[in-house]
């Protein structure tokens, strides 16, 4: 986060930047890179790196975050890394101790202190330990204050990722699928997906015990409502193949505290909308909704005359059925509808294969249908199936182009519907590279997917 308190405008010749504030108040907090220059997150001078192993820094950072968290239930820890390295290959080296505060320009960078080298390399286990201790401290303090902690972790895997994820309440994995997205077919056919991102998330999802959110934020270079149907299907399939539950992910169209309205609800995005309708005292039915867009079963409902812990029990056209009767008389009411919609695909029949791409060369990791390597990545859910193709075959030494054909079984009842309410017949289907198909069972007259 930004370490500068609100209202800092500089003092006595110190500039009104975060680094200026640190030089004025805490020059011993400033971290320097292996090139002995001030370390910046993403190389951006608004984000100087501070010594998170310092107990005073830990306390300050928590209180600074908590002070800005009024009205929210969780603290967001953005850009949490599992590696001691910046995007320009400079790693965090150390800081100056015994410094003078305020520190004038003529004394910088030493500020009258002595340099202490804390970390010997980008892979120094001391940094990993310090980073994990900081996350655990923030999370423990937040929990005591009634906050959850949600960390935006990069997709790097292994023990560092799992340990960091399990230190907080939940995680966001930003930019999945990555910007290579569905248009870079050659990348997928050359094994990028199997060797890197997909492998890492299979492993992480199987080993992380906290709620696993996958935030799709910059798919193929954009993060607005311009997402295509092909991309929407691909993103949903990708996430369902790597997570353990249909209810454990968030598809975010924009990275902010409460934004996702730009992505369709069939992707599982967080819904936060207000609708109006007519209610009657003693009845759970609200009629004449101003809109049913994004409204689906299971979402939370609040409003005048609505009991606490009420949720959407059913939606039919412009009529909404609540889980509890309204207490207000026949009147027009404004209802706030919020939460993660229940995806109609259900829960996984079986977990994905056990994969640890960091310990040894993985084998048989993808292209499974009920345990058999059938060429197309697929996974069965209690009310549906997920099929995904590009390369979904790994022979132990390299990736190869798998079969693009699969056989969709007959639906147990009703019909299969894709995310766009098209009926998908059972039988043999052929998929193109970098495409996906996600289907759920529905009745002949009712598509199960929430629609925009």
Would you state the pLDDT for residue 188? Answer: 33
- For the chain, residues with pLDDT lower than 70 are 1-4, 86-88, 154-156, 174-202, 205, 210-227, 244-263, 268-270, 328-330, 351-376, 389-403, 433-434, 452
Task: Bin 309: left if φ > 0, else alpha if -120 < ψ < 50, else beta.
Answer: left
Alpha-carbon distances, residue 70 vs 1, 63, 360 (angstroms): 16, 12, 46
Instruction: Round to whole Å and give the CA distance between 15 and 22.
Output: 10
CA dist 14 and 443 (Å) reads 68
Q: How far apart are CA 312 and CA 295, in angstroms?
A: 8
Alpha-carbon torsion angle 167, 149, 225, 288, nearest 10: 130
What are the distances in angstroms from CA 358 to CA 129, 157, 160, 203, 352?
A: 19, 7, 11, 9, 17
Check residue 70 and give its pLDDT: 80
Tokens encoding 192? 């990028």
Partnered with residue 372 across adjacent β-strands are: 369
The DSSP line for 402-421 is PP-EEEEPPPSSSEEEETTS
Rg, Å, the chain Cα set = 25
pLDDT of residue 233: 84
pLDDT at 425: 96
* pTM assigned to the model: 0.74
Number of C-beta neighbours around residue 25 at 10 A: 19
CA distance 361 to 42: 32
- Which positions ≥6 away from 410 have C-beta within 8 Å? 426
* pLDDT value for 317: 82
Residues facing 380 on adjacent strands: 385
User: What is the separation of C-alpha 380 from the centre of its chain, rounded to a whole number of angstroms?
Assistant: 23
Phi-psi label, residue 248: left if phi above 0, alpha if psi -120 to 50, beta otherwise? alpha
Residues 6+ apart with CB under 8 A from 33: 39, 86, 90, 91, 92, 93
> Closest Cα partner for 355 from 365, 367, 345?
365
pLDDT at 371: 45
Tokens read off for 266:
């069939």
> What CATH architecture applies to the domain 18-242?
Alpha-Beta Barrel (3.20)
pLDDT at 329: 64
- Both structure tokens of 222: 């954009």
Extract long-range pairs of 256-260: CB within 8 Å, 24+ residues apart.
257/72, 257/76
Summarised one tens digit per residue, pLDDT across range 307-339 is 889 999 988 888 999 999 887 665 788 899 987
């Amino acid at each position: 986060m930004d370490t500068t308190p609100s209202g800092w405008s500089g003092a006595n010749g110190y500039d009104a930047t975060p680094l200026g504030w640190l030089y004025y108040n805490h020059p011993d907090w400033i971290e320097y890179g292996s090139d002995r220059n001030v370390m910046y997150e993403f190389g951006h001078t608004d984000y100087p790196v501070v010594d998170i192993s310092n107990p005073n820094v830990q306390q300050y950072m928590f209180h600074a975050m908590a002070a800005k968290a009024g009205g929210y239930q969780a603290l967001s820890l953005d850009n949490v890394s599992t590696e001691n390295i910046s995007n320009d290959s400079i790693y965090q080296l150390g800081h100056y101790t015994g410094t003078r505060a305020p520190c004038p320009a003529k004394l910088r960078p030493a500020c009258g202190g002595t340099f202490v080298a804390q970390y010997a390399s980008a892979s120094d286990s001391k940094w990993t330990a310090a980073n994990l201790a900081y996350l655990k401290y923030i999370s423990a303090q937040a929990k005591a204050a009634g906050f959850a902690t949600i960390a935006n972790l990069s997709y790097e895997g292994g023990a560092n990722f799992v340990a960091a994820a399990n230190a907080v309440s939940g995680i966001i994995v930003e930019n999945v699928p990555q910007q290579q997205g569905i248009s870079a077919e050659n990348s997928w056919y050359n094994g990028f997906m199997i060797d890197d991102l997909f492998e890492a998330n299979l492993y992480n999802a199987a080993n992380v015990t906290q709620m696993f959110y996958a935030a799709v934020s910059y798919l193929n270079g954009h993060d607005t409502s311009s997402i295509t149907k092909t991309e929407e299907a691909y993103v949903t399939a990708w996430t369902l193949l790597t997570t353990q539950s249909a209810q454990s992910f968030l598809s975010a169209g924009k990275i902010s505290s409460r934004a996702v309205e730009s992505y369709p609800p069939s992707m599982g995005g967080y819904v936060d909308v207000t609708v109006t309708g007519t209610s009657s005292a003693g009845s759970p039915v609200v009629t004449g909704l101003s809109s049913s867009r994004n409204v689906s079963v299971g979402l939370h409902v609040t409003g005048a005359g609505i009991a606490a812990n009420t949720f959407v029990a059913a939606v039919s056209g412009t009529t909404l059925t609540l889980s509890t009767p309204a207490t207000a008389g026949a009147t027009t009411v404004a209802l706030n509808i919020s939460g993660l919609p229940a995806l109609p695909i259900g829960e996984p029949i079986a977990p994905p294969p056990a994969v640890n791409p960091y310990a040894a060369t993985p084998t048989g990791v993808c292209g499974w249908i009920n345990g058999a390597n059938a060429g197309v990545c697929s996974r069965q859910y209690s009310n549906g199936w997920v099929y995904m193709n590009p390369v979904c075959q790994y022979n132990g030494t390299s990736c190869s182009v798998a079969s693009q054909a699969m056989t969709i079984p007959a639906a147990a009842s009703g019909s299969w519907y894709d995310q766009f309410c098209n009926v998908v017949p059972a039988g043999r289907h052929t998929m193109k590279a970098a495409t996906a198909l996600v289907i759920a069972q529905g009745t002949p007259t009712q598509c199960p997917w929430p629609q925009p």
